[in-house]
């Protein structure tokens, strides 16, 4: 089965800062442009679900994306209206071609505004 990267995802971190009136604000800072990233996405197989459940993980999804040095565990990922937190990043043999991300569904944090990377 081919792993075509035909799904759009968005990856961001949440930063806390202050506005001009010294009020605390949360900013969703995306690591990419407004267009997002292309990914291959799949749910875990039954064997993988069983192993994940034994480890205490819930609702995991696997994403495969092109290599991006800014991707790391702990960032948030948006896919089809749901929010996930990236639990692990696997660069498989360090060839810098693809990254495999394992993410778990979480409740989205409420942020005051969003900023995109311009590059």
- What would the pLDDT profile of 1-37 be if each residue is shown by its tens digit? 578 898 999 999 999 988 889 899 999 999 999 899 9
Structure-token pair, residue 73:
């565990």
CATH homologous superfamily of 7-109? Bacteriophage SPP1 head-tail adaptor protein (2.40.10.270)
Tens digit of each residue's pLDDT (9 = 90 or more) over 82-119: 999 999 998 776 778 889 999 999 998 888 888 888 76
Q: Show me where the domains of the chain are located.
A: 7-109
Cα 33 to Cα 37: distance, rounded to the nearest angstrom: 9
Cα 21 to Cα 6: distance, rounded to the nearest angstrom: 43
- The pTM (predicted TM-score) of the whole model is 0.82
Cβ-Cβ contacts under 8 Å for 43 (sequence gap 6 or more): 60, 61, 62
Contact assessment for residue 5 and residue 65, using Cβ atoms and an 8 Å cutoff: yes
Tens digit of each residue's pLDDT (9 = 90 or more) over 60-84: 899 999 998 899 999 999 999 999 9
């Amino acid at each position: 089965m081919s792993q075509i990267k035909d799904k759009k995802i968005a990856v961001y971190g949440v930063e806390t800062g202050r506005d001009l009136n010294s009020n605390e604000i949360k900013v969703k800072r995306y690591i990419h442009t407004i267009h997002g990233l292309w990914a291959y996405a799949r749910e875990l197989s039954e064997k993988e679900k069983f192993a994940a459940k034994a480890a205490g993980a819930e609702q995991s999804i696997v994403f495969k994306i092109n290599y991006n040095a800014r991707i790391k565990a702990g960032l948030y990922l948006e896919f089809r209206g749901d929010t996930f937190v990236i639990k692990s990043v696997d660069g498989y043999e360090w060839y810098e071609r693809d990254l495999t991300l394992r993410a778990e569904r979480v409740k989205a944090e409420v942020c005051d505004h969003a900023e995109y990377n311009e590059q």
